[in-house]
Amino acid sequence: MPAGIDLDRLVGRLDAIARHGALDGGGVRRLALSDADGAARDQFVAWCRAAQLQVRIDRIGNVLARRAGVEDQLPAVVIGSHLDSQVNAGRFDGALGVLVGLEILMTLNQSGVRTRHPIEVASWTDEEGARFNTGMLGSSTYIGRLDLDDALGRADPDDVRVRDALERIGYDGDAAVPGPPLRAYLELHIEQGSVLENAAIDVGVVDRSYPVCHLDVRFTGETAHPGSAPMERRRNALVGAARAIVAVDELIRDHGPDAKAGCGVISVWPNRSGIIPSRVGARFDFRHPETAEVRRIDAEIEKALHDAAAAASVEIEIVQRATYGGRPFHPGCVAALEHAAAARRIPTLRLATQAAHDATVIVDRYPAAMVFCPCRRGISHHPDEHVDPARIEASANVLMDAAVALAEGSDDL
């Protein structure tokens, strides 16, 4: 077994990728399938090829780079994450997991380790959903949860389709989706929370994910003249939405520190000076680690939405409801991570992921688990996101050892 990854090489690659889509004053904006994402992909693919990995691009643009196994027909152990980012993001969210995967395969190459199963590093397309409004787009398509044509047809706010955006940056690959079965999927990510930092532990073994719920809601009122329409006769859809946003922000605080909810996406029509808005679409999200509590929160939010609409004399409709995650990660993968940590005498902490990730989707179909490393003050989706490089090494080594162990094994997980 190799002693460990080359941390300096990893940090150098993080720096290089952070240049693609760099924001003034730090952080990145590397929206999925943008020029910056394309350049980051090109760089990643070039590194993979230089490391003698066999690169394939599938039809939804996922990049998979393979280190052959001794029994190469066996399903691969995949280590991955994403290179796309939010519009106002840090440099670690996603990119760290992809580059750790590459670093592990390079370390295995240098050590001459051979594994029964192949090991691959994956860079999934559009995990953030920041451009095409659909998170975990690539991994969902890979596992067959999302239909390829549906995925390719999703549009960004400028009405550019995924299909055309992929072609434009040259990532409309030909590998089939859904993709070949995985033996196991492992993902390293920054925690985006403060549990590890507060506990002074470097390695979080993620054994479950919060169920993350999205409610897409439409408020419908009536246009009118803002000068003459009497206040008591107005049916202002924006007032309905505003009441709902305030109510959700307030009610969630009664459910303890693990409960999160809010609204971050809103569209208003006509949204013009001199006319009262008649239509507002809003996406509310909420999450809590316990399913029973999620159900209670869901019911409270639904009541709050209806009360808000009634108070503003507007109609409300819940247009779409989606839930991500909420499943436990695979006990075999979790055990492999904990064994690897124990063998290296690295203390770990079990925790849940509050955010959705590619792993929380992939576990619907294949054995999967995650490793978290601490990030400063839990800040993420903000340029101030920061990870002390020294605190990445332990997680990366644990991930490497667990991947090798899973790639050696012959039993079903």
Query: Among 7-15, 67-75, 142-150, 273-281, which window interacts with a copy of itself (CB under 8 A)?
Result: 273-281
Q: Which residues contact 303 (CB under 8 A, 6 or more apart)?
A: none
Residues 61-100 binding a copy of itself (CB under 8 A) are: 86-88
Tell me, residue by residue from 288 to 317, as one string, x for binding to a copy of itself by CB under 8 A and - for no binding.
------------------------x-----
Query: Among 138-146, 181-189, 277-285, 387-395, which window interacts with a copy of itself (CB under 8 A)?
Result: 277-285
| Least gap, CB of 264 to a copy of itself (angstroms) | 5
Backbone φ/ψ region at 200: left (φ over 0), alpha (ψ -120 to 50), beta: left
Nearest residue (CB) to a copy of itself, 338 versus 385: 385
| Least gap, CB of 61 to a copy of itself (angstroms) | 19
Are residues 71 and 117 in contact, defined by beta-carbon separation less than 8 angstroms? yes
User: With binding defined as CB under 8 A, does residue 36 bind a copy of itself?
Assistant: no
Q: Which residues contact 124 (CB under 8 A, 6 or more apart)?
A: 62, 80, 81, 82, 136, 137, 138, 139, 142, 358
CA–CA distance, 302 with 290 (Å, rounded to integer): 18
Distances (CA, A) of 7 to 99, 103, 396: 11, 9, 9
Nearest residue (CB) to a copy of itself, 112 versus 230: 230
Q: Which amino acid is at 219?
A: F
Q: Which amino acid is at 283?
A: R
Nearest residue (CB) to a copy of itself, 119 versus 261: 261
Task: Note if the bond before 347 is cis, omega within 30 degrees.
Answer: no
CA–CA distance, 188 with 205 (Å, rounded to integer): 10
Nearest residue (CB) to a copy of itself, 276 versus 373: 276
Q: Which residues contact 288 (CB under 8 A, 6 or more apart)?
A: 210, 211, 255, 258, 259, 260, 294, 297
Are residues 97 and 187 in contact, defined by beta-carbon separation less than 8 angstroms? yes
Residues 156-195 binding a copy of itself (CB under 8 A) are: 191-194
Nearest residue (CB) to a copy of itself, 31 versus 119: 31
Residues 111-150 binding a copy of itself (CB under 8 A) are: 128-131, 133, 135
Query: Among 5-13, 50-58, 265-273, 291-299, which window interacts with a copy of itself (CB under 8 A)?
Result: 265-273
Q: Which residues contact 36 (CB under 8 A, 6 or more apart)?
A: 20, 21, 28, 29, 30
| Least gap, CB of 223 to a copy of itself (angstroms) | 4
Query: Among 53-61, 95-103, 340-348, 379-387, which window interacts with a copy of itself (CB under 8 A)?
Result: 379-387
Angle at which helices 393-408 and 7-18 cross, to 10°: 110
Residues 190-229 binding a copy of itself (CB under 8 A) are: 191-194, 210, 212, 214, 222-229
User: With binding defined as CB under 8 A, does residue 257 bind a copy of itself?
Assistant: yes
| Least gap, CB of 170 to a copy of itself (angstroms) | 25
Tell me, residue by residue from 334 to 363, as one string, x for binding to a copy of itself by CB under 8 A and - for no binding.
-------------------xxxx-------
User: With binding defined as CB under 8 A, does residue 155 bind a copy of itself?
Assistant: no
| Least gap, CB of 240 to a copy of itself (angstroms) | 10
Nearest residue (CB) to a copy of itself, 60 versus 239: 239
Nearest residue (CB) to a copy of itself, 112 versus 257: 257
Residue in 46, 199, 246, 342 binding a copy of itself, rule: CB under 8 A: 246
| Least gap, CB of 234 to a copy of itself (angstroms) | 7
User: With binding defined as CB under 8 A, does residue 277 bind a copy of itself?
Assistant: yes
Query: Among 45-53, 96-104, 110-118, 261-269, which window interacts with a copy of itself (CB under 8 A)?
Result: 261-269
Nearest residue (CB) to a copy of itself, 239 versus 340: 239
User: With binding defined as CB under 8 A, does residue 242 bind a copy of itself?
Assistant: yes
- The DSSP bridge partners found for residue 279 are 220, 269
Query: Among 16-24, 34-42, 161-169, 263-271, which window interacts with a copy of itself (CB under 8 A)?
Result: 263-271
